[in-house]
Structure 1
Amino acid sequence: MSNAAAKIPGDDPGTDPEEDPEIRIGRQIRHLRLVKGLRLRDMAEATGLSESLLSKIENDKSTPSLGGLHRIAKALDTNVSHFFAAAERSPGVVARAGDRVVIRTGAESSEDLSPDSEPHLMQSMIVSVDPGGESQGTRQHQGEETGYLLSGELELVIDGQSYHLRAGDSFMFRSDLPHAYRNPGNETVRVVWTNTPASL
């Protein structure tokens, strides 16, 4: 896989936007919506996002937050990992630094640690959240999640109980419990975050 798939628009004037997963998200969303026969109005009702915002997202004129992307994926009967899978990758065991697929969504980015796009029983990401960034609402789904903070501070709320984590701390919880997070610190938080089954 070329490094271009892991770069962010504007980082390199030579980057082909057709190879950037952040650029492709809107087209993927629109394609899935049309395949399922859903109108923008249907998506707005299912996600709580406005039709105008959804239209901008589909036309790559706006980038959804990770929370918004979760809601869109759920409305389309898929998960966020579907959008990572669209980036072409060669099968293998090792994913080299700089060659991994990264999706930026507002104040967050998720870097897929898998070397390929094949379905797996679990999914590991490096999730980065800028200061003040948050999950924008709670989430619930089947499975389990575990994580390890590489840097920064993270407020993790599980089933209404808040936990303040710092670099070096780790966590694990059942995903069917309502959960949310935010970065209350002054630096970007980076978390190795693993879900099983893949749901991010």
Structure 2
Amino acid sequence: MEIGSKLKRLRIKNNLTQEELADRCELSKGFISQIERDLASPSISTLFDILQCMGTDLKEFFNDETDEEIVFREEDIFVKENKDDKNIINWLVPNSQKNIMEPIIIELLPNGTSYVDTPHEGEEFGYVLSGNISVFVGSKEYKAKKNECFYYKANQPHFIKNRGKSKATVLWVCTPPNF
């Protein structure tokens, strides 16, 4: 476990500088800096003292329960436009690459395409919100239109393409994260 970054977050949450924390713990600022960058490991008793100076204990510090964010809002969405492929990708959940699945909304302009993804472990699901698309899995092409969905194992090259004359929009979920 990398305790350095966790200690740094706790120090900042407590509005302490490295020097203030070091003074409280009777340690050097340099040692606190090394611990936070995981260049040095404190003994259990030193870690206990550091945590005590920040109003917590070992049990609470090593408890990995965090407030899980459940609802994501419009301002959380990260958007990337690819003019060459004529697509716009909207990442709906920030940092979703650390999760088991990754949802996006991809907008494909006429003749727009997603990138060709190489075979990988996992599965992919898409729901066509508007327009008409072609889903390519291996050497096969499948058509899907508004209110239809697709689902496949990602063990062959795969991508989607808008063969229509108007924009197509697809909610696409990949596991593991791959976009």
TM-score normalised by L of structure 1: 0.50
**CA distance in structure 2 between the partners assigned to 1:137 and 1:193 by the alignment:** 14
**Alignment match of 2:105 (pick from 108, 121, 126):** 126
**SS in structure 1 opposite 2:155?**
coil
1:164/1:122 Cα in 2 relative to 1: closer, same or farther (>3 Å)?
A: same
Tell me the equivalent position of 2:40: none
Confirm or deny: 8 A CA contact 2:116 2:157 kept in the other structure: no
Confirm or deny: 8 A CA contact 1:103 1:110 kept in the other structure: yes
Q: Map Cα deviations across residues 152-180 of structure 1 (whole Å, 9 max, x no partner).
A: 11011112111111000101101112212
Q: Map Cα deviations across residues 108-150 of structure 1 (whole Å, 9 max, x no partner).
A: 1111111x32610110000111101123545322211001000
Tell me the equivalent position of 2:82: 105
Letter in 2 for 1:166: K
Confirm or deny: 8 A CA contact 1:139 1:180 kept in the other structure: no
How many residues were matched structurally?
A: 109
1:188/1:113 Cα in 2 relative to 1: closer, same or farther (>3 Å)?
A: same
**CA distance in structure 1 between the partners assigned to 2:117 and 2:104 by the alignment:** 19
Q: Which runs of structure 1 show a deviation greater than 4 angstroms over 4 or more consecutive aligned residues?
A: none
1:136/1:198 Cα in 2 relative to 1: closer, same or farther (>3 Å)?
A: closer
Equivalences for 1:89-168 in 2 at 5 Å?
92-106=69-83, 107-114=86-93, 116-117=94-95, 119-135=98-114, 137=116, 139-168=118-147
Tell me the equivalent position of 1:173: 152
1:123/1:137 Cα in 2 relative to 1: closer, same or farther (>3 Å)?
A: closer
Gaps of 5+ in 1: 1-90
**CA distance in structure 2 between the partners assigned to 1:179 and 1:159 by the alignment:** 6
Tell me the equivalent position of 2:46: none
**SS in structure 1 opposite 2:164?**
coil
Equivalences for 1:1-200 in 2 at 5 Å?
92-106=69-83, 107-114=86-93, 116-117=94-95, 119-135=98-114, 137=116, 139-200=118-179
**CA distance in structure 1 between the partners assigned to 2:106 and 2:113 by the alignment:** 12
Letter in 2 for 1:102: V
Gaps of 5+ in 2: 1-67
Percent identity of equivalent pairs: 27
**CA distance in structure 1 between the partners assigned to 2:139 and 2:168 by the alignment:** 21
Cα RMSD for the two superposed structures = 1.7
**CA distance in structure 2 between the partners assigned to 1:138 and 1:99 by the alignment:** 25
TM-score normalised by L of structure 2: 0.56
